[in-house]
Amino acid sequence: MINRTKSKALFETAQKLFPGGVNSPVRAFKSVGGTPLFIAKGDGCRIWDEDGNEFIDFCNSWGPLILGHNHPKIREAVIEAVCNGTSFGAPTKLENELASLILENHSYIEKIRFVSSGTEAAMSAIRLARGVTGRDKIIKFEGCYHGHVDALLVQAGSGLATYGTSSSAGVPEAYVKETVVLPLNDREAVEKAIALHKDNIACIAIEPIPANNGLLIQDIDFLRFLREICTREGIILLFDEVISGFRVGFEGAAGYYGIQPDVMAFGKIIGGGLPVGAYGSSKEVMSHVSPEGPVYQAGTLSGNPVAMAAGKAQLSECLTPGFYEALLEKTEYFKNAILDHAKAKGYTFNMFNRGSIFWLAFSDKVAIRKSSEIDADSMKYFTKLHAALLERGVYLGPSGYEVGFISAAHSMADLDIAVQAFKEALDIAFAD
């Protein structure tokens, strides 16, 4: 067993300081058991915990670190920015520079507003949709996560177009009533909900590559249908690209599928590992945002210069020719090597990917498009796999519903080491 002495002591202290000992729930290792590892440092594709254990990291801070840890160009940009002061609450040149870099290379948005997290981005995008349409209700999908915004913390309703129930205490019933929750990849459910709430749907919000409840790859026809019905009904189509943005390509899922959403929300990669989110749209739609328009939205640390510098350094690297092709090639190599082993052994296991996002499914289904298609019981395999991987120096996010990420810092040699660990860990997970 890896030595967790220091992590255990730190977790004991942390439990006195924070609810559940953490500042974000999934970090607590509740679903896989055991003490969470306290990370001391990261470099390239590796992280080290406080006990000195070394891991090849496939969590990558849940997605932001597409270049891996401690990338020299990001580090230098951050240090340079910090030396000029960390925050002014006044405009800086760096905001223009990051925005220009994005807008010149992203054909799906014309104007952008920086915020400090993905949650803020999704929340603000929804307010914008309501402000533009003058309507109240929103449609979201089962298994899609859009941050911890009250109206979006709504789980699956069982029937079509039923009102959701809140999945968090503290969310007023009145907010939940404004959120219609539907199954993914189901045109009929969307049509019925729109017919039922005729002329009061402001927005359809979707992760176009749903990656928060497994990786639920949608039929492109479903996404195209959403585009068409939104256009027909005057509904704002919101692509939450907090994970997929700058990940499956510089233009995210919109570019991948060639579908123009009305509003897009970003986070994670856009900030180079610092807290940045953003939302963007056409000039016309963005003209509704304060101070140009009546939709209020503000932030003390929005467009923070240190975070802008990190985002600019990271996105500049993403624009290097062949960057995304190389990531995809590595991810498919990694996936196929693991799948070959699982198939040879006859394990009930599959692995899905979109670009450099991957997910391990303990299922023999060839496609999983809805959260209801995931067997909760299969998570027992993930728990065993996760523990066995830690023992072999591989770190995955501590939940079988979460996806993993390949970064530019993973070399083929690193992936070969990880593949060997996966083979052994799968053998343990499927033993007896």
Ligand X SMILES: Cc1ncc(COP(=O)(O)O)c(C=O)c1O
Q: Does the annotation count 175 as an active-site position? A: no
Can you tell me the distance from the alpha carbon of 309 to that of 101, in angstroms, rounded to the nearest whole number? 12
Quote the strand ranges of 44-149, DSSP E. 46-49, 54-57, 111-115, 137-141
Q: Does the annotation count 240 as an active-site position? A: yes
Closest residue to ligand X in the complex (CB): 118
What separation in angstroms does the CA of 382 have from each of 163, 212, 217, 362, 363? Answer: 32, 16, 20, 8, 11
> Residue 361 forms beta bridges with which residues?
350
Tokens of 349: 């296991």
Q: Does the annotation count 268 as an active-site position? A: yes
- Does 117 contact ligand X by CB under 6 A? yes
Which of 118, 183, 311, 400 binds ligand X (CB under 6 A)? It is 118
Tokens of 100: 């220009």
- Does 122 contact ligand X by CB under 6 A? yes
Nearer to ligand X, 114 or 145 (CB): 145
Can you tell me the distance from the alpha carbon of 60 to that of 255, in angstroms, rounded to the nearest whole number? 23
Contact 165, 176 (CB under 8 A): yes
Q: Does residue 69 sit in helix, strand or coil?
A: strand
**Min. distance of Cβ 148 from ligand X in angstroms?**
7
Which of 49, 57, 207, 251 binds ligand X (CB under 6 A)? It is 207
Query: Which of these segments, 29-37, 235-243, 402-410, 413-421, binds ligand X (CB under 6 A)?
Result: 235-243
- Does 119 contact ligand X by CB under 6 A? yes
- Does 242 contact ligand X by CB under 6 A? yes
Nearer to ligand X, 44 or 271 (CB): 271
Nearer to ligand X, 53 or 244 (CB): 244
Can you tell me the distance from the alpha carbon of 262 to that of 39, in angstroms, rounded to the nearest whole number? 39
Closest-CA residue to 253 (of 108, 429, 150, 55): 108
**Min. distance of Cβ 29 from ligand X in angstroms?**
17
Which of 57, 240, 251, 414 binds ligand X (CB under 6 A)? It is 240
- Does 145 contact ligand X by CB under 6 A? yes
Size of the site for ligand X (CB under 6 A): 15
Nearer to ligand X, 27 or 335 (CB): 27
Taking the CB of residue 422, how many other CB atoms lie within 10 A of it? Answer: 26
Burial class from Cβ neighbours inside 10 Å (0-12, 13-18, 19+) for residue 93 reads: exposed
Out of 240, 330, 381, 401, the active site residue is 240
- Does 193 contact ligand X by CB under 6 A? no
Tokens of 321: 């020719």
Nearer to ligand X, 139 or 242 (CB): 242
Q: Which residues belong to the active site?
A: 145, 240, 268
The residue ranges that bind ligand X (CB under 6 A) are 62, 117-119, 122, 145-147, 207, 212, 240, 242-243, 267, 277
